[in-house]
Every structure is written in structure tokens, then in C-alpha cells.
Structure 1
Amino acid sequence: MKQLVIDILMKLAKMDVDTKELTAQVEAQSLLIAALLLTTGKGESSSISENINNAIVTASRAGDEFLQSDIDLLLTHVNRLLAVTRQVDQTAATQ
């Protein structure tokens, strides 16, 4: 019984480490995307935003394996990243 508890705790610890690693990876990618969008300039950011949204919608229509809730979640996160980028750009312009 003691060994079972130890094994469960070890698996939980590994899952926690994996979750933290995945979170760090996603945050790093978010920062990279924001930096790339800021680098492209204001005029190109909106076209990049439209291209990203169009690509997601097109990919979702191409296959039946995508759930609408997954697509909505992805679009929500992409739009959040783009909003953060716009906010940083506006803040930088006013300073």
C-alpha cells in the first residue's frame, strides 16, 4: 500500500512538472508572437490578424475532426494575443 501511494505521488509530481513546462512553452510562444507583430508595424498587424483568423476558420472547415469549442477556444486565445500586442503598441505610441 505504501508503494502504491509513493507511485501515485511520483506520477502526480511528474504531471505537475510537465504542466509547468507546457505553460512556460506557451507563454514563450505568446511573447514571441507579440514581439513579431510589434516588429511588423501597425499596417501589417491587421492583415496578419486577418490571415491568422482566416487560416483557423479554413482549417476548421477542411476537416471534421475539429470541435467547434476547440476552434472557438483557439480563436479566443489568438485574439487575446493580438489585443495585448495592440495595447503594447498603443502604450508605446503615447509615451
Structure 2
Amino acid sequence: MKNLVIDILHKLAKTDTQMKDLTAQIEAQSLIVAALVLTAGEGRSDIISTNIEKAIHSARAASDEILQSDADLLMAHLIRLINVSQFVEYKAETETDIQ
């Protein structure tokens, strides 16, 4: 998790001053999602991901006003967040096994 925070702070340092607040807000939300998935425990990240994916697909199907590209963009970011939390969980397990 420490490396994830370091990467986020590097992103902020490279970001335009006007965009820093929005970037920080988004990255903070990413951290919260990652922490929630980690807190849910092993094997549950797939269940969380599946439930959110179903909700996105259902919302897309229920409304003609929702653009497919917007739903795809949201899904891509969701998958990225889930993958980050799974990676953090894997790294934590690997470090525990080494010690």
C-alpha cells in the first residue's frame, strides 16, 4: 500500500497545478476502493467486481441516454482499481511468505 501511495504522490507532482485537486480527489477515492476491497478479504474482490459490472451493464441497458463509451470508460477504471487492490493483496501475501 505504501508503494501505491508513493506512486500517487509522484502523479500529483507531475500534474498541472489546476488539475492537482481533482487528481488528488480521484486518487484518494482509488485508495479507498483498494482499501475496501482488501478489507473484504481474499476471494471477495471478484464478487465485488462482478456485482459492480452487472450494475453498470444494467444501468446501460436501462437508459438510452447513457453512452456505451461512457459505460466502457467507467468499467475500465473499475477494473483498474480492482486490479490494483488485488496486486496489493498479492504483494502483501508474498512479503508475508518471505518473512
Q: Please classify the TM superposition score into its range, dividing by the shorter chain length.
A: 0.7 to 0.9
Distance 1:59 1:48 in 2: 17
Q: What is the aligned-residue RMSD (CA, Å)? A: 1.4
> Which of structure 1's runs of 4+ aligned residues deviate more than 2 A?
16-20
Distance 1:92 1:75 in 2: 26
TM-score w.r.t. length of structure 1: 0.77
Provide the residue aligned with 2:36 in structure 1.
36
Q: 1:87 to 1:19 in 2, by over 3 A?
A: same
Q: Offset of 1:71 from its aligned partner?
A: 0.8
Contiguous gaps of at least 5 residues in structure 1: 1-15
Rg larger for: 1
TM-score w.r.t. length of structure 2: 0.74
Distance 2:74 2:88 in 1: 21
Look up the equivalent residue of 1:28 and give its one-letter code: A
Seq. identity, %? 54
Provide the residue aligned with 1:53 in structure 2.
53
Distance 2:38 2:78 in 1: 15
Contiguous gaps of at least 5 residues in structure 2: 1-15
Q: Offset of 1:17 from its aligned partner?
A: 5.8
